[in-house]
């Protein structure tokens, strides 16, 4: 009889999150986020991950659960028995099923968590991203105001300012975008402000709106055009906009950066789009090679997803890691929000645990 080598054991479960306010973006509004929590277990240690699927990237909780079930059925040959074989595991997952980045990101971040716990080191240290000479190596994170009626926009902005947020991001892509900005600026006339149209504008709308946003001291515009907009359309908007243009939905992998470089000023990196931290670092490196600025963002996620993303925050120019701050019921605790900054802990792995 042959002895079976113990392999990393994958399990997963639905993770339902509720936002404090209904969260509106140009694709729709929702209070419920249907994520999936992933656990990888090896030698009594557990690595945590989170999948945050987005319909506009072709994923849902159902597709995530189906993909994870398939990986689980083949876990011996896919996951092996080394928590440090993160790149190798990602390559095998990609070979078995293309796409499905949110599902893969959950496994990949859980691998980082497990590897850190095995080595008794925080993930950010394992990745070489410690900096003991700089007090704040990572930028401040902003706080997002979702699409809503004007009365609620004013109320949400007041709440954000009262909670101590010093940097705001506003979702646009409505028929009343200018009034939204005027409301926010009425409450917060001087706070750094960026906007995200989530692909809600045409080329003409983007250029017209960019001029207006420039007058209201907006730092940059995220994803003015739809996800599959042509490079020449991004180029036209960039050439006619006084405000820098960042691509979010249009850039998932490092190869997408190369495709749009020259026609944008920056990219938004997210684990749910890249499929994990390693590819996110390749997206960042490719963007830097093309002289682009970098924002690290996220979907609506618990502290698992936030804390996984925050591991790479010192590589970025801007952070939009407020996903857990928007929640009413984050079941986890990890990176701590402190006066606008996310503080990572010295705990091994990602540094995330269930709230007591």
- Contacts with Mg ion, residue ranges (CB under 5 A): 196, 222, 248
State which residue, 76 or 265, has the beta carbon closest to Mg ion: 265
State which residue, 222 or 333, has the beta carbon closest to Mg ion: 222
In the complex, minimum distance from the CB of residue 198 to Mg ion, in angstroms, rounded to a whole number: 6
In the complex, minimum distance from the CB of residue 108 to Mg ion, in angstroms, rounded to a whole number: 21
State which residue, 148 or 222, has the beta carbon closest to Mg ion: 222
In the complex, minimum distance from the CB of residue 320 to Mg ion, in angstroms, rounded to a whole number: 7
State which residue, 50 or 248, has the beta carbon closest to Mg ion: 248
The residue at minimum Cβ distance from Mg ion is: 248
State which residue, 56 or 212, has the beta carbon closest to Mg ion: 56
3-state SS track over the chain: CCCCCCCCEEEEEEEEEEEEEEEEECCEEEEEEEEEEEEEEECCEEEEEEECCCHHHCCCHHHHHHHHHHHHHCHHHHHCCCCCCHHHHHHHHHHHCCCCHHHHHHHHHHHHHHHHHHHCCEHHHHCCCCCCCCCCCCCCECEEECCCCHHHHHHHHHHHHHCCCCCEEEECCCCCHHHHHHHHHHHCCCCCEEEECCCCCCHHHHHHHHHHHHHCCEEEEECCCCCCCCHHHHHHHHHHCCCCEEECCCCCCHHHHHHHCCCCCEEEECHHHHCCHHHHHHHHHHHHHCCCEEEECCCCCCHHHHHHHHCCHHHCCEECCCCCCCECCCCEECCEEECCEEECCCCCECCCEECC
In the complex, minimum distance from the CB of residue 173 to Mg ion, in angstroms, rounded to a whole number: 10
State which residue, 93 or 321, has the beta carbon closest to Mg ion: 321
State which residue, 142 or 248, has the beta carbon closest to Mg ion: 248
């Amino acid at each position: 009889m042959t002895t079976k080598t113990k392999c990393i054991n994958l399990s997963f479960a639905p993770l339902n999150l509720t936002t404090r306010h209904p969260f509106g973006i140009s694709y729709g509004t929702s209070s419920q986020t249907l994520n999936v929590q992933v656990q990888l277990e090896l030698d009594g240690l557990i690595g945590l991950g989170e999948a945050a699927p987005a319909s506009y990237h072709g994923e849902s909780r159902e597709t995530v659960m189906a993909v994870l079930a398939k990986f689980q059925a083949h876990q011996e040959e896919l996951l092996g028995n080394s928590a440090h074989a993160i790149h190798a595991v990602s390559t095998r997952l990609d070979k078995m099923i293309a796409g499905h980045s949110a599902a893969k990101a959950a496994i990949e971040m859980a691998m980082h968590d497990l590897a850190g716990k095995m080595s008794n080191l925080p993930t950010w240290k394992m990745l070489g991203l410690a900096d003991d000479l700089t007090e704040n190596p990572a930028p401040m994170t902003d706080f997002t105001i979702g699409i809503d009626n004007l009365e609620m926009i004013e109320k949400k902005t007041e709440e954000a300012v009262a909670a101590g947020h010093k940097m705001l991001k506003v979702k646009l892509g409505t028929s009343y975008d200018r009034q939204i900005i005027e409301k926010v600026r009425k409450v917060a006339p001087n706070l750094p402000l960026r906007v995200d149209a989530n692909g809600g504008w045409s080329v003409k709308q983007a250029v017209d709106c960019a001029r207006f946003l420039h007058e209201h001291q907006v730092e940059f515009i995220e994803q003015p055009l739809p996800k599959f907009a042509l490079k020449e359309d991004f180029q036209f908007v960039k050439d006619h906009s006084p405000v820098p243009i960042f691509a979010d939905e249009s850039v998932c992998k490092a190869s997408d950066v190369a495709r749009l470089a020259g026609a944008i000023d920056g990219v938004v990196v997210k684990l749910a789009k890249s499929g994990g931290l390693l590819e996110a670092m390749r997206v960042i490196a490719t963007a830097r090679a093309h002289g682009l600025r970098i924002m690290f963002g996220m979907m609506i996620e618990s502290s698992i997803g936030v804390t996984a993303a925050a591991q790479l925050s010192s590589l970025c120019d801007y952070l939009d890691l407020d996903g857990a701050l928007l929640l009413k019921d984050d079941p986890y605790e990890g990176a701590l929000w402190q006066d606008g900054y996310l503080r990572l802990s010295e705990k091994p792995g990602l540094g995330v645990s269930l709230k007591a």
